[in-house]
């Protein structure tokens, strides 16, 4: 019978993919139901798979089926396996009535990485499909553009493992686990932004939107606040002063203010440096600092500061889940400071050093000069 052969082949595939006895048995029993005829034929066919997991499956079937003929076939299959050296400890000494159990449903899972040079983030949302594998939804989101791309479909566990390994290899930043409901929230946020901009969302998102709606929740604050208390960080100047140090770490080193934005200020710095006016070092440094301050004020108005506040909060979570709690606190301290009005004498240390870093990098790439580190003036 074609149905019997299909069930046996699925068991064989599940074993090859390394699924547990519990997973395979729940899938098998859900396919068999209470059909005695098909159960007997499947039990007979399973004897052709010489694997200890099959022996465990047959013992599970003994727990479920009371009919003497079916039980006789199951025991005969166990004997055949035993004669081939495949033995499993017997679970049940006799019939216990029908104990057909509901499938154990794994919880949905979410994964995400940090920002790339275009401010995109890659998200994965896995929704279990008992007995079949997972529905895997994945795509790029952008906090100023919305959904960059999106796709999804059902794949096996083995296929997902291979896919996930490839994602981790290709990602410019670590891929960490996030709450599935938060991954759904981020996808929904990006979808709303896409609509606000009058853009058409990816077709796959519209097809699978209901799957996301089932598990997403609305979040008033980014996920990091579930792990680090705001009161632990806010107002701690010692932690905040370390904000500029983040730019030396691997996760922030590639952050750069756009060339068109930074160019006018880089040009001013270059002109001040090359000026024929006789200025001592203190006067030059004061001129550089005045340029940096104007750049900081112009490039980060309130709306832009709010954008970077959220980005630093998301990066704080990435750092935290990567085991870098101290850096996570610094990133969160920077984010909390961005909520406050700018201070001329004590500018946000991350943004201030980022402006300097971007200007000097622009000058280095444009003019290929050396010695520009002398321009840096720490706040």
The mean pLDDT of 189-200, rounded to a whole number, is 96
Sorting pLDDT into bands at 50, 70 and 90, what band is 36?
A: low
Least confident of 23-32, 51-60, 173-182, 244-253: 23-32
pLDDT of residue 173: 93
Q: Model-level pTM?
A: 0.70
Give per-residue pLDDT as tens, 330-349: 999 999 999 998 887 789 99
The answer to whether the CB of 57 falls within 8 A of the CB of 46 is: yes
Asked whether the beta carbons of 37 and 75 are under 8 A apart, the reply is: no
Q: Is the pLDDT of residue 378 over 50?
A: no
Buried/exposed code over 154-178 (b: 16+ C-beta within 10 A; e: otherwise): ebbbeebeeebeeeeeebebbbbeb
- Quick one: pLDDT at residue 103? 45
Q: What percent of the chain has pLDDT over 90?
A: 53
What pLDDT is stored for residue 1 in this prediction? 59
Task: Write the pLDDT tens digit of every residue in 153-189.
Answer: 999 888 999 999 999 999 999 999 999 999 999 999 9
Higher pLDDT, 323 or 129: 323
Distance in angstroms (rounded) separating the CA atoms of residues 44 and 26: 19
Q: Is the pLDDT of residue 204 over 60?
A: yes
Q: Give the torsion sign (CA, 293, 299, 305, 311).
A: negative
Question: pLDDT value at position 188?
Answer: 96
Query: Computed from CA positions of residues 208, 211, 213, 217, in that sequence, does the dihedral angle turn out positive or negative?
Result: negative
Confidence of residue 284 (pLDDT cuts 50, 70, 90): confident
Give the pLDDT mean for 192-211.
95
Residue 13 has pLDDT above 60, yes or no: yes
Helix H or strand E encompassing 184:
helix 180-196
Whether the pLDDT of residue 100 is over 70: the answer is no
Instruction: Quote the pLDDT of residue 44.
Output: 86
Cβ atoms within 10 Å, residue 334: 27
pLDDT band at 297; cut points 50, 70, 90: very high
Q: Which two tokens stand for residue 344?
A: 């001329």
Q: Strand ranges (DSSP E) for 100-225?
A: 109-112, 120-129, 133-142, 146-155, 176-178
Residues 262-283, mean pLDDT to the nearest whole number:
82
Q: How big is the chain, counted in residues?
A: 379
Q: What is the pLDDT of residue 368?
A: 60
pLDDT per position as a tens digit, 48-91? 888 888 888 888 888 888 888 888 888 888 877 777 677 765 54
Mean pLDDT value across the chain: 86
CA gap 273, 288 in Å, rounded? 9
* Residue 199 pLDDT: 95
Whether the pLDDT of residue 311 is over 90: the answer is yes
Q: Provide the percentage of residues in the chain whose pLDDT is more than 70.
A: 89
Q: Among 24-33, 84-93, 206-215, 338-347, which is the least confidently predicted range?
A: 84-93
Whether the pLDDT of residue 116 is over 70: the answer is yes
pLDDT for the residue numbered 98: 43
Give residue 105's pLDDT. Answer: 56
pLDDT attached to residue 32: 77
């Amino acid at each position: 019978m074609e149905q019997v052969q299909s069930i046996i082949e699925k068991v064989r595939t599940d074993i090859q993919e390394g699924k547990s006895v519990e997973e395979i048995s729940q899938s098998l029993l859900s396919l068999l139901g209470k059909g005695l005829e098909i159960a007997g034929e499947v039990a007979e066919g399973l004897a052709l798979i010489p694997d200890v997991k099959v022996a465990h499956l047959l013992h599970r079937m003994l727990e479920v089926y009371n009919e003497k003929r079916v039980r006789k076939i199951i025991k005969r299959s166990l004997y055949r396996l035993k004669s081939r050296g495949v033995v499993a400890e017997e679970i049940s000494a006799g019939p216990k009535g029908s104990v057909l159990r509901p499938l154990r449903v794994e919880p949905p899972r979410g994964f995400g990485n940090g920002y790339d040079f275009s401010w995109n983030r890659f998200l994965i949302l896995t929704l279990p499909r008992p007995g079949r594998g997972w529905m895997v939804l994945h795509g790029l989101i952008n906090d100023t553009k919305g959904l960059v791309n999106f796709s999804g479909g059902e794949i096996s566990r083995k296929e997902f493992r291979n896919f996930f390994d490839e994602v981790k290899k290709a990602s410019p930043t670590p891929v960490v686990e996030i709450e599935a409901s938060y991954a759904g929230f981020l996808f929904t946020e990006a979808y709303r932004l896409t609509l606000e901009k009058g853009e058409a969302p990816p077709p796959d998102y519209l097809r699978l939107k209901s799957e996301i709606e089932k598990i997403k929740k609305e979040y008033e604050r980014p996920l990091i606040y579930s792990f680090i208390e705001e009161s632990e960080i806010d107002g701690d100047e010692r932690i905040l002063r370390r904000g500029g140090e983040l730019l030396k770490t691997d996760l922030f080193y590639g952050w750069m203010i756009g060339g068109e934005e930074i160019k006018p200020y880089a040009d001013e710095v270059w002109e001040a440096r090359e000026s024929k006016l006789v200025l001592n070092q203190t006067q030059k440094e004061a001129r550089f600092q005045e340029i940096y301050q104007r750049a900081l004020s112009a490039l980060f108005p309130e709306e832009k500061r709010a954008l970077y506040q959220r980005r630093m909060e998301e990066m704080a979570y990435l750092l935290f889940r990567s085991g870098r709690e101290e850096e996570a606190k610094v990133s969160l301290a920077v984010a909390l400071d961005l909520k406050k009005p700018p201070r001329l004498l004590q500018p946000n240390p991350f943004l201030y050093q980022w402006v300097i870093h971007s200007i000097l990098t622009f000058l280095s790439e444009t003019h290929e000069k050396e010695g520009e580190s002398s321009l840096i003036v720490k706040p």
